[in-house]
């Protein structure tokens, strides 16, 4: 691992000196290669982590979209020019790369999640040491091969494989200036503590306990479509998966009946390993013992769930979704917000006024109206509140702030000493 960090540090001066538009052109060629290799990469995702082919193809498409988007930032990455308070003085700000970035990514999106981190880091002039999940090393290797084919110089992206001990060493490597991590809250807290001790920046994307609110005026057919896709797509192994349905009491019985009928017909892909299956079963057993009622097996629906139950508070990361009854939109918002996470939420309603109140009251980083909790697009920020992260955002323009430093520049062409805040003209 020391070698890979040194390679990234050595490559940084020359990579940052390449004009940003040229860096963007490499990412554009990478996007074209991803596009041509989409089926191959999707098949590799399916083999390594078990994602169904349709979903795997969608994941590769997200990386393609991100590559095209960030390639364009090679000719943007805007700074600011502002008036100076003094005559004959120019003031502006511009972005600078951070340096060596340590990137630690999970197994559930082995192509898309790395693209959210890797591509903005590269277009801004950073170099990267990447530790992918030990469960998906082939996806990581193939992405780096395609970057090399696109013209990325040697040493700019370096892969280290291994478990938690490798990740910890990478976080603590002296040359690393920024750590970007997606994974569990437990590990994320350790990363944050280590970075704080060492004076490093970190960007954390952690767990979620996402909810879909169904009000009494909702289109129930549409809501069922959104719930089933959000709760059980990828076997519930998404940080944005819906694991809570918060439903108005007036439509709870009907919605529950419709959901049970759909879920009983549903076939999903495998979970990542036996431990994940066991974790889901433990949550369900505990909930049933506390008074919940199991409505389906396999993909699991539970009702008679109260907001305080563990199954309604903690991230499960599997195909388990609970139904919670509420009596008003106000109560629905309170239940939605009263969890340790704040990534994604959704509301189904035909009333535009209720929708806009929800946009204000739901305290998650992402809010959907009449759609499920999944489906983010690359041109907007991705991230959450509370225990979901530390305020950093991925994707969109916000990603540029994660992977760059602001530099402020003043050019005084007056030919004399001018003292800001002192030599200003009176109003």
List for the chain the helix, strand, coil content (%; round to 5): 45, 20, 35
- Contacts by residues 281-286 (CB-CB < 8 Å, ≥ 24 positions apart): 283/310, 283/311, 283/314, 283/316, 283/318, 283/320, 284/311, 284/320, 286/310, 286/311
Extended strands (E) in 44-175: 80-82, 89-97, 100-104, 127-131, 157-159
Structural contact between residues 410 and 84, judged by C-beta atoms closer than 8 angstroms: yes
Query: What positions carry a catalytic annotation?
Result: 205, 239
User: What distance in Å separates the CA atoms of residue 72 and residue 27, rounded to the nearest whole number?
Assistant: 9
Buried b (16+ CB within 10 A) or exposed e, 349-359: beeeebbebbe
What's the longest Cα–Cα distance across the chain?
80
DSSP code of residue 312? G
| 3-state DSSP assignment of residue 252 | helix
What DSSP string runs through 29-76?
A: HHHHHHHHTHHHHHHHHHHHH---HHHHHHHHHHHHHHHHHHHHGGG-
**318 token code pair:** 């599997």
The rounded distance, in Å, linking the Cα atoms of 102 and 2 is 12
Helices (H) and strands (E) counted in the chain, each on its own, are 14, 17
Compute the Cα dihedral for 129, 134, 136, 139 and give only its sign. Answer: positive
């Amino acid at each position: 691992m020391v070698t890979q960090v040194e390679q990234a540090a050595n490559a940084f001066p020359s990579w940052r000196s390449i004009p940003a538009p040229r860096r963007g052109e490499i990412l554009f060629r990478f996007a074209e290669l991803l596009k041509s290799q989409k089926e191959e990469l999707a098949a590799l995702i399916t083999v390594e982590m078990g994602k169904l082919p349709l979903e795997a193809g969608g994941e590769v498409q997200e990386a393609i979209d991100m590559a095209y988007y960030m390639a364009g930032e090679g000719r943007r990455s805007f700074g600011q020019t502002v008036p100076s308070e003094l005559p004959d003085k120019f003031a502006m700000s511009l972005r600078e790369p951070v340096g060596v970035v340590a990137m630690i990514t999970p197994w559930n999106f082995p192509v898309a999640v790395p693209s959210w981190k890797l591509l903005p880091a590269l277009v801004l002039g950073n170099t990267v040491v990447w530790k992918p999940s030990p469960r998906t090393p082939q996806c990581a290797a193939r992405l780096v091969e395609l970057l090399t084919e696109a013209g990325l110089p040697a040493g700019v992206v370096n892969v280290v494989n291994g478990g938690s001990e490798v990740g910890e060493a990478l976080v603590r490597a002296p040359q690393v200036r920024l750590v970007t991590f997606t994974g569990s809250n437990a590990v994320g807290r350790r990363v944050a503590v280590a970075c704080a001790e060492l004076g490093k920046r970190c960007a954390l994307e952690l767990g979620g306990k996402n909810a879909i609110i169904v009000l009494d005026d909702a289109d129930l057919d549409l809501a069922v479509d959104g719930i089933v896709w959000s709760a059980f797509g990828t076997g519930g192994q998404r940080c944005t998966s819906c694991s809570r349905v918060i439903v108005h009491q007036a439509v709870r019985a009907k919605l529950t009946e419709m959901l049970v009928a759909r879920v009983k017909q549903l076939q999903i892909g495998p979970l990542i390993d036996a431990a994940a299956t066991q974790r889901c079963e433990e949550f369900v057993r505990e909930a049933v013992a506390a008074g919940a009622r199991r409505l389906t097996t396999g993909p699991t629906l539970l009702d008679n769930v109260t907001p305080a139950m563990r199954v309604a508070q903690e991230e499960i990361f599997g195909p388990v979704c609970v139904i919670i009854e509420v009596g008003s939109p106000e109560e629905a918002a309170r239940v939605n917000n009263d969890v340790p996470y704040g990534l994604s939420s959704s509301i189904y309603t035909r009333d535009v006024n209720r929708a806009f109140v929800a946009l204000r009251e739901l305290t998650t980083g992402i809010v959907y109206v009449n759609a499920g909790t999944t489906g983010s697009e690359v041109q907007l920020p991705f991230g959450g509140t509370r225990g979901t992260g530390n305020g950093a955002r991925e994707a969109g323009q916000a990603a540029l702030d994660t992977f760059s430093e602001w530099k402020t520049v003043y050019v005084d062409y007056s030919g004399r000493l001018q003292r800001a805040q002192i030599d200003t003209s009176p109003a």
